[in-house]
Amino acid sequence: MVLNSAVITAFGTYRYSPLSPEEARRLLAGGFMSAVGHPEAARAASEILGVEIPVNRIEVKMEPQERAIVVRLKSRPPAGSEISVPLEAYEVGLLERLC
């Protein structure tokens, strides 16, 4: 699964760890579901990961032992801004629901 935010989708214990784009690509190689709902975020995730991340605005509820690749902005852009954000403004992480 690919997310554009490290959201806690249900009660449980989670771990969020840094991940390189290369490691993320390896994890996505077996197939994945996108839960990236914003076109700019999907474009950035695709460029960073080197894999096409489709826009797919769905609600996600992670189950225990499930994990997701997160490509998220390091900080919040100014209110109302619809400008393109540089790729350096993003980070990649692995979100795991432990239980």
Chain segment 44-54, per-residue pLDDT in tens: 999 999 999 99
Name the residue range of residue 80's domain: 2-97
* Confidence (pLDDT) at 94: 98
pLDDT of 3 strictly over 80: yes
The tally of domains found in the chain comes to 1
**CATH code of the domain covering residue 61:** 3.40.50.11170
Q: Are β-strands 2-3 and 14-18 bridged in parallel, bridged antiparallel, or unpaired?
A: unpaired
Place of tokens 């100014």: 78
Chain segment 20-49, per-residue pLDDT in tens: 999 999 999 989 999 999 999 999 999 999
Place of tokens 């692995």: 94
Q: What tokens appear for 62 in the block?
A: 């992670």
